[in-house]
Amino acid sequence: MPALLIRNTRYEIYFCNGFSSMTKKIRRIGLLTGGGDCPGLNAVIRAVTKTARSRFDIDVVGVLDGYRGLIEGNVKELTWSTVSGILNRGGTILGSNNRVNPKQYHVGHDDDGTPQFEDATQRCLQTIEEHKLDAMIIVGGDGTMSVAESLLRSGVNCIGVPKTIDNDIVGTDLTFGFTTAMTTATLSLDRLHTTAASHHRVMVCELMGRNAGWLALSAGIASGSDVILIPEIPFDMEKLCEYVDGRQHRGRGFSIIACAEGATEVDGDKHVRLHDPLSPDPIRLGGVGAHVADEVEKRTGIETRTTVLGHVQRGGPPVAADRVLATQLGWASMELLMGGGHGRIIVVQDGQLNDIDIRTVANKQRLVPLDDPLVKAARSVKTSFGD
């Protein structure tokens, strides 16, 4: 399908199990924000709702708290007044949820405490039918899109809008929320820089990034961090400590280490904080920053401190660039839907809006290539990756 194909059609063609069927004109759509929250979600909600109502005279129904709302039938009408004044607000007025997967919905425990799950896809379909939703606009990351793929197989047309602060969705160069998170992380690293210089310390800042290091890499470069540790490049603790010790003895007097939560040592494992058996993704990472700080201080004798930014990176109002991008993506999702799009997700490629099959995004992640220009640029200014 060409990018943002727009057709003057009053019907949508659904493809289910290899067969196509003509359905009635689209009059009502559902809008859902899944996964973790991020800056710019409200801008998408605003753009979808206003475009749907003003351009296409279509009703918009917001699904509350991600897929939980679709399972439990918890929805509300979105009107012009509902979405007015939310462009600059962080989070999502619909609520979100990254612990609910309709394909594995927690319904209780056995007598021995073992969690019990069921496939709640049919309950999602019942909500869609009950509220007469002719299509769904689904905003989320790879996990959210994997559920959208199952809804597609059940005959529900879904249009995706990519969202994540990690910028790790396959097929798109940029996701809204990333620029804001990168800015927040950069400003935090800047503040650590002044403290490190004043006290002649090593400061380790643990950032989000389970498997993809785009956030730590970009914020590390923007802040002038001396060391950047990302999941894609395993680090050698001995080489890392030698680099930090060398800076100290060359008169630098301090070092800043930007460390993604998924960073690992060579032949090492990720640092797991806890296991949550009720979550679709049960492993929660955390602790690599503290581990690095402990080892650096023990091996070099340099006073070292750790800061974990955590959910601070997700919060707050979106920066201007994310407001613009989110508005474009929300508008484009409606144009794509009404132009005949089916099972597609809006993406940014080479600075242009395009669309690709949701199935190419579901349960996949865009990782940092070892020869990425950002990695090369960082190495050229003598930034260490601990390798």
Q: Is residue 3 predicted with pLDDT exceeding 70?
A: no
Q: Are residues 25 and 135 in the same domain?
A: yes
| Residue 102 included in any domain | yes
pLDDT band at 155; cut points 50, 70, 90? very high
**Angle between helix 214-223 and helix 373-380 axes, rounded to 10 deg:** 30
The bridge status of strand 19-22 relative to strand 255-260 is: unpaired
Q: Are residues 132 and 204 in the same domain?
A: no
| Residue 369 included in any domain | no
d(C-alpha 231, C-alpha 219), whole Å: 15
Q: Are residues 329 and 306 in the same domain?
A: no
Residue 178 in contact with residue 164, Cβ under 8 Å? yes
Q: Is residue 150 predicted with pLDDT exceeding 50?
A: yes
**Which of 297, 313, 329 is the endpoint of a domain?**
313
Q: Is residue 7 predicted with pLDDT exceeding 50?
A: no
Q: Are residues 232 and 255 in the same domain?
A: yes
Mean pLDDT of the chain: 90
| Residue 227 included in any domain | yes
Q: Are residues 172 and 217 in the same domain?
A: no
**Average pLDDT for 35-50:** 96
| Residue 371 included in any domain | no
Q: Is residue 276 predicted with pLDDT exceeding 60?
A: yes
Count the domains in the chain.
Answer: 2
pLDDT at res. 239: 97
Q: Are residues 114 and 102 in the same domain?
A: yes
What percentage of the chain exceeds 90 in pLDDT?
79
For residue 275, the tally of other CB atoms under 10 A from its CB is: 9
Catalytic residue at 387?
no
Q: Are residues 103 and 184 in the same domain?
A: no
**Average pLDDT for 37-63:** 97
Tokens of 176: 């809204």
pLDDT band at 280; cut points 50, 70, 90? low
What percentage of the chain exceeds 70 in pLDDT?
93
Q: Is residue 18 predicted with pLDDT exceeding 80?
A: no
| Residue 67 included in any domain | yes
Q: Are residues 136 and 204 in the same domain?
A: no
**Average pLDDT for 181-187:** 97
Q: Are residues 19 and 104 in the same domain?
A: yes
The domain of 146 spans 13-176+318-360
Q: Are residues 29 and 157 in the same domain?
A: yes
List the catalytic residue out of 166, 168, 226, 322.
166
CATH number for 227:
3.40.50.460
Q: Is residue 194 predicted with pLDDT exceeding 70?
A: yes
| Residue 333 included in any domain | yes
Q: Are residues 18 and 152 in the same domain?
A: yes
CATH number for 62:
3.40.50.450
| Residue 375 included in any domain | no
Q: How many CA atoms lie within 13 A of 271 on its CB side?
A: 19
Q: Is residue 201 predicted with pLDDT exceeding 60?
A: yes
| Residue 345 included in any domain | yes
In angstroms, what is the C-alpha Rg of the chain? 23
Q: Which residue has the tokens 């039918």?
A: 129
pLDDT band at 105; cut points 50, 70, 90? confident
Q: Between these two residues, 271 and 214, which has the higher pLDDT value?
A: 214
Q: Are residues 167 and 196 in the same domain?
A: no
